[in-house]
């Protein structure tokens, strides 16, 4: 359902909640989280810090939700009486630190020229703090809201998304905002990720007996060439291709063959190609598998000795919210009221945690920070951090304002 709220009412609510965003405390908290390493597998200290932050802010039941050993989620909520639940969520884990930092140290949280510097600040430590601060602002504004605002900072996003899976197994929600980096624009969704492993078989022999061998690496090379040349364009609705483009990207991303350096030598009889497929929402496994099979037939035409087994290794679905969905409309209203301009609707090429829960929970993606990410001297402007917080607060206010559904029709 689309809600057509009065712009003057929207702006008034947005300004009322924005007035309760403590900018100095917000930026200090962002600096704090930048100083806590949380590389994938090491999320525990940041989870504990966020739980303590929510406790200090007066959240209800701030706690760590067990996910993996020493890698919990950080949860808390604010209750405003009966009503629906709006979840703010994002991941705590980051990739490893990039080499080449020069302006400051990766975990300094230093402010330079109006921006906070820190590894992972854009993906997505700052957004977690912005979400917590926005929830506080809604509460402190005293506007008549009803329902629940929940915070779920999750672990293992860059692994198997077990943090998000665990949270939404145990908790339900009516609407959700994923704080992935969108450069403070509205992202309707993202591509999926299908991993296929192609096991290529050869015949092993000592290198001195090369005529007796069939080198699996050599066989795999023919498949790699064909897979890399793939240009799959499945049939999709025009509005989907207008957002994502026509091609399902597919690449032989990793190759495992032969024995490791430093050990014995032999011509390998097995090589595994991991094919990384990034389909648009709506592209089936069968369509991607058919394209892989076509490439492997071409590889066998190139080299008749080519033989392989294909194994589906992992599936993460794409996600796409409808442009007319309520969750989209609420975020459009929030951005419009804070920024004073009509926002664009965009999509991402990366994979979000919505792959694990978006089929059940209407979700919109919005967060500070954009490409390039995970680079030396990663930083985020204070202006973008403040704007994101105000947008989150406005979204929550519109979603939970008493009578908003009737008044905004």
Residues 373 and 230 in one domain: no
Place of tokens 């061998």: 213
Say if pTM beats, i.e. exceeds, 0.75.
yes
By C-alpha distance, which of 214, 215, 225 is closest to 299? 225
Contact 133, 27 (CB under 8 A): no
Q: How many domains does the chain have?
A: 2
Contact 290, 234 (CB under 8 A): no
How high is the mean pLDDT of the chain? Answer: 95
Task: Note whether residue 124 is domain-resident.
Answer: yes
Largest CA distance in the chain: 82
pLDDT tops 70 at residue 10: yes
pLDDT tops 90 at residue 204: yes
The residue among 295, 316, 337 that closes a domain is 316
CA 309 to chain centroid: 31
Task: Dig out the tokens for 397 from the structure.
Answer: 């206010």
Task: Say how far apart CA 176 and CA 84 lie, in whole Å.
Answer: 11
CATH number at residue 349: 3.40.630.10
Task: Say how far apart CA 13 and CA 52 lie, in whole Å.
Answer: 29
By C-alpha distance, which of 321, 332, 323 is closest to 399? 332
Task: Say how far apart CA 285 and CA 291 lie, in whole Å.
Answer: 10
Over range 370-381, report the average pLDDT: 92
The pLDDT of residue 3 is 46
pLDDT in tens, 305-340: 999 999 999 999 999 999 999 999 999 999 999 999
The pLDDT of residue 258 is 87
Boundaries of domain holding 145: 7-190+318-407
Task: Note whether residue 169 is domain-resident.
Answer: yes
- Number of neighbours of residue 60 by Cβ within 10 angstroms: 13
Which helix (H) or strand (E) is 77 found in, with range?
strand 71-79
Which helix (H) or strand (E) is 399 found in, with range?
helix 382-400
In angstroms, the first-to-last Cα distance of the chain is: 9
β-pair type (186-190, 308-316): unpaired
Task: Say how far apart CA 360 and CA 175 lie, in whole Å.
Answer: 10
The pLDDT of residue 130 is 98
Over range 122-129, report the average pLDDT: 97
By C-alpha distance, which of 331, 325, 346 is closest to 189? 346
The pLDDT of residue 407 is 39
Task: Note whether residue 75 is domain-resident.
Answer: yes
Over range 199-208, report the average pLDDT: 95
The pLDDT of residue 405 is 42
The residue among 290, 316, 342 that closes a domain is 316
Residues 339 and 278 in one domain: no
pLDDT tops 60 at residue 61: yes
**Sequence-ordered list of residues with C-beta below 8 angstroms from that of 113, at least 6 positions apart, any chain:** none
Provide the CB-side half-sphere exposure for 149 (13 A, CA): 28
pLDDT tops 60 at residue 406: no
Task: Say how far apart CA 123 and CA 55 lie, in whole Å.
Answer: 24
pLDDT tops 60 at residue 408: no
Contact 190, 350 (CB under 8 A): yes
The residue among 316, 344, 379 that closes a domain is 316
Torsion sign over Cα 335, 341, 344, 345: positive
159 backbone dihedrals φ, ψ, rounded to 5° = -100, -110
Task: Say how far apart CA 380 and CA 110 lie, in whole Å.
Answer: 11
- Number of neighbours of residue 261 by Cβ within 10 angstroms: 6
Residues 282 and 339 in one domain: no
Q: Is 6 exposed, middle or buried (0-12, 13-18, 19+ CB in 10 A)?
A: exposed
Over range 280-292, report the average pLDDT: 98
Residues 58 and 179 in one domain: yes
Residues 17 and 86 in one domain: yes
The pLDDT of residue 8 is 75
The pLDDT of residue 342 is 93
- Number of neighbours of residue 113 by Cβ within 10 angstroms: 9
Residues 197 and 95 in one domain: no
CA 197 to chain centroid: 24
Place of tokens 């032969």: 258
Residues 40 and 125 in one domain: yes
The pLDDT of residue 264 is 80
CA distances from 285 to 101, 304, 356 (A): 41, 27, 16
Task: Note whether residue 126 is domain-resident.
Answer: yes
Tell me what percent of the residues of the chain surpass a pLDDT of 90.
Answer: 92
The pLDDT of residue 265 is 84
Task: Note whether residue 1 is domain-resident.
Answer: no
Residues 307 and 265 in one domain: yes
The pLDDT of residue 59 is 98
Residues 123 and 267 in one domain: no
Residues 216 and 265 in one domain: yes
Task: Note whether residue 2 is domain-resident.
Answer: no
Q: Is 331 exposed, middle or buried (0-12, 13-18, 19+ CB in 10 A)?
A: buried
Task: Note whether residue 174 is domain-resident.
Answer: yes
Which helix (H) or strand (E) is 123 found in, with range?
none
Residues 307 and 244 in one domain: yes
Residues 26 and 75 in one domain: yes
pLDDT tops 60 at residue 352: yes
Task: Say how far apart CA 1 and CA 409 lie, in whole Å.
Answer: 9
pLDDT in tens, 332-343: 999 999 999 999
pLDDT tops 70 at residue 2: no
CATH number at residue 280: 3.30.70.360
Task: Note whether residue 341 is domain-resident.
Answer: yes
């Amino acid at each position: 359902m689309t809600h057509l709220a009065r712009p003057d009412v929207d702006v008034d609510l947005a300004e009322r909640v924005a007035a309760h965003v403590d900018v100095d405390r917000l930026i200090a908290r962002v600096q704090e989280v930048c100083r806590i390493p949380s590389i994938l597998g090491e999320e525990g200290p940041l989870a504990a810090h966020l739980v303590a932050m929510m406790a200090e802010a007066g959240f209800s039941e701030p706690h760590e939700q067990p996910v993996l050993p020493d890698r919990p989620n950080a949860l808390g909520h604010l209750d405003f009486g009966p009503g629906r639940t709006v979840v703010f969520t994002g991941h705590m884990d980051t990739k490893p630190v990039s080499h080449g930092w020069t302006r400051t140290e990766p975990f300094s949280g230093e402010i330079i020229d109006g921006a906070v510097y820190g590894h992972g600040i854009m993906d997505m430590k700052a957004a977690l703090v912005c979400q917590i601060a926005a929830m506080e602002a809604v509460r402190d504004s005293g506007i008549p809201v009803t329902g629940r605002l929940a915070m779920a900072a999750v672990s293992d996003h860059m692994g198997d998304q077990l943090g998000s899976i665990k949270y939404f197994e145990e908790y339900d929600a009516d609407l959700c905002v994923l704080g992935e980096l969108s450069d403070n624009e509205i992202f309707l969704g993202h591509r999926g990720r299908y991993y296929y492993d192609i096991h290529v078989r050869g015949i092993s022999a000592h290198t001195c007996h090369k005529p007796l061998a069939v080198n699996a690496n050599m066989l795999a090379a023919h498949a790699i060439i064909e897979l890399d040349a793939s240009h799959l364009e499945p049939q999709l609705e025009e509005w989907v291709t207008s957002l994502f483009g026509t091609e399902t990207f597919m690449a032989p991303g990793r190759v495992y063959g032969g024995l490791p350096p430093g050990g014995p030598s032999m011509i390998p009889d097995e090589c595994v190609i991991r094919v990384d497929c990034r389909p648009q929402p709506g592209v089936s496994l069968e369509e991607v598998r058919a394209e892989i099979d076509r490439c492997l037939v071409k590889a066998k035409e190139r080299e008749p000795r080519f033989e392989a087994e294909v194994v589906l290794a992992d599936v993460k679905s794409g996600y796409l919210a409808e442009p007319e969905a309520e969750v989209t409309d609420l975020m459009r209203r929030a951005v419009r009221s804070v920024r004073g301009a009509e926002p664009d609707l965009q999509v991402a090429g990366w994979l979000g945690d919505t792959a694990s829960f978006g089929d059940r929970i209407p979700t919109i993606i919005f967060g500070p920070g954009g490409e390039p990410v995970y680079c030396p001297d990663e930083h985020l402007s204070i202006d973008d951090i403040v704007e994101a917080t105000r947008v989150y607060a406005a979204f929550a206010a519109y979603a939970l304002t008493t009578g908003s559904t009737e008044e905004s029709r």
